[in-house]
Structure 1
Amino acid sequence: MLNRDFDDTREHLLATGEGIMLGKGFAAVGLAEILGQAGVPKGSFYHYFGSKEGYGVALLSRFFSRYHAILDEIVANPQLNGRAKLDAYFAGWCSVSCENSGNSRCLVVKLTGEVSDLSDDMRRQMQQGIAGIIERVTAFIVIGRADKSLPPGMPAETLAAALYQLWLGAALVTKVQHGSAALDAARAATERMLST
């Protein structure tokens, strides 16, 4: 039987920390700030997470679990052909990255460079989560090629990885420029990649 208090407090700590870290990053946020904003005593934190690094791994795991679930809904949507599934995915990038003058609501965009140097466990969690995204984008491409909404071309997984990396880079540049030019360029490059 699940302990409801355990689930709620743990989730509250993760949700609170995600909000703070989307603004400040991982290293700049101390446990005291998370606990103070969450209204949770320090002892409770260590009941759920062995360390700040362990908390970071859980935070990323939670983020990717939700992200993958959204993509799984797109994959399973019978009303969308493969190209429309890809378009829905890229529209999501724009809505997350273009709001708030380039302040992305995506933990991958916010933490990729930072945590890769700080923690091997967090880097591995990030790597695993990104692989799950690319796997789902690959499914969009495979579906699109099967229903003829996308032309044949390079291997679907290779194209999916290239598209993800293109859009991740564009989202990072968007943070610097505080404008949508990089994402507009990514969309134009995507059109070219999908038409050959």
Structure 2
Amino acid sequence: MVRESGAAPAAAGSSSQDNILNAARALIGEKGYDGMAISDLSAQSGLPPSSIYYHFGNKFGVLAALLERTFEEMHGLFPNPTSFDDLPPLERLEAWFTAACRSLDQRPDYLRLLVAISVGPHKDADAVQQTVRRVRDYAHASWVDALTPIFAPNGGKNNQALVEQLAVLGRALTDGLSVTNSFDGMSYSSQVEPFVALIRGLAEQRRATAKRKR
């Protein structure tokens, strides 16, 4: 009986925090972080300001918690390239990128929030820097994993440097698509085919160049 009575407040507290963070995500998407007031959070979440201060301390505490939750959700939503290891390298890249773009199409607010915060007035705050860096590092590592079997299966300094450059390009593509998705409604998935075609063409060009040098 004691354990049951103690569990209810914890569940209620967790639910309140989720409501506040959900409200913050919606408000930041609508007004931006600076345009969001505690009173807005209170109205949107249906909770009193005292509850917001109790759980997060202040408005920036809400942002820090929202960024952390967004990272965890994105990490869980995104596929890992190793899930497609049974496929040839190019097909593996295409399958992974297709799955990743479908995930982003389901939750476009994830990247939209991170891009907005990472260029906003609080971009230099430790909480923002740490979370944005974790997301970008994870995305970069995934791109490197997806591209390495195509361009650097046997290593090589120049090949690995190319993989790093293409990983940056892939990351920039998804960053840019978050803006295009927001303003023009273009889906992430619509860019899978042209990007994979670009990678395929580059891979074929490098193979042809290597043959001529033999």
1:160 aligns with 2:167: yes
Q: Cα–Cα, structure 1 residues 175 and 50, in superposed 2: closer, same or farther, change >3 Å?
A: same
1:131 aligns with 2:142: no
- Give the conservation status (yes or no) of the 8 Å contact 2:23–2:41: yes
CA distance in 1, matches of 2:53, 2:110: 29
Number of the residue aligned with 2:17: 10
CA distance in 2, matches of 1:92, 1:6: 29
1:64 aligns with 2:61: no
Number of the residue aligned with 2:30: 23
Number of the residue aligned with 1:41: 48
The one of the two structures with greater contact order (alpha-carbon pairs below 8 A, sep at least 6) is: 1
Unaligned runs of 5+ in 1: 98-102
- Equivalenced residue count is 183
Which whole-Å deviations, capped at 9, do the CAs of 1:14-63 have from their partners, x for residues lacking one? 11211222222211111111111211111211121122112111111101
- Give the conservation status (yes or no) of the 8 Å contact 2:77–2:103: no
Which whole-Å deviations, capped at 9, do the CAs of 1:67-96 have from their partners, x for residues lacking one? 01112x444645874321122213444555
- Give the conservation status (yes or no) of the 8 Å contact 1:170–1:186: no
CA distance in 2, matches of 1:24, 1:187: 34
Structure 2 residue identity aligned to 1:193: I
Partner residue of 1:85 out of 79, 88, 96: 96
TM-score (norm 1): 0.73
Q: CA deviation at 1:183?
A: 8.1
Which whole-Å deviations, capped at 9, do the CAs of 1:129-178 have from their partners, x for residues lacking one? 22222223333334xx2xxxx454545444323201122123324444x2
The range that moved more, 155-164 or 38-47, is 155-164
Structure 2 residue identity aligned to 1:7: S
Q: Cα–Cα, structure 1 residues 182 and 78, in superposed 2: closer, same or farther, change >3 Å?
A: closer
Q: Cα–Cα, structure 1 residues 186 and 24, in superposed 2: closer, same or farther, change >3 Å?
A: farther
Runs of 4+ aligned structure 1 residues displaced above 6 Å come to none
Secondary structure of 1:40's aligned partner: coil
- Give the conservation status (yes or no) of the 8 Å contact 1:171–1:183: no
The range that moved more, 13-22 or 182-191, is 182-191
- Give the conservation status (yes or no) of the 8 Å contact 1:163–1:190: no
Q: Cα–Cα, structure 1 residues 94 and 41, in superposed 2: closer, same or farther, change >3 Å?
A: closer
1:171 aligns with 2:182: no
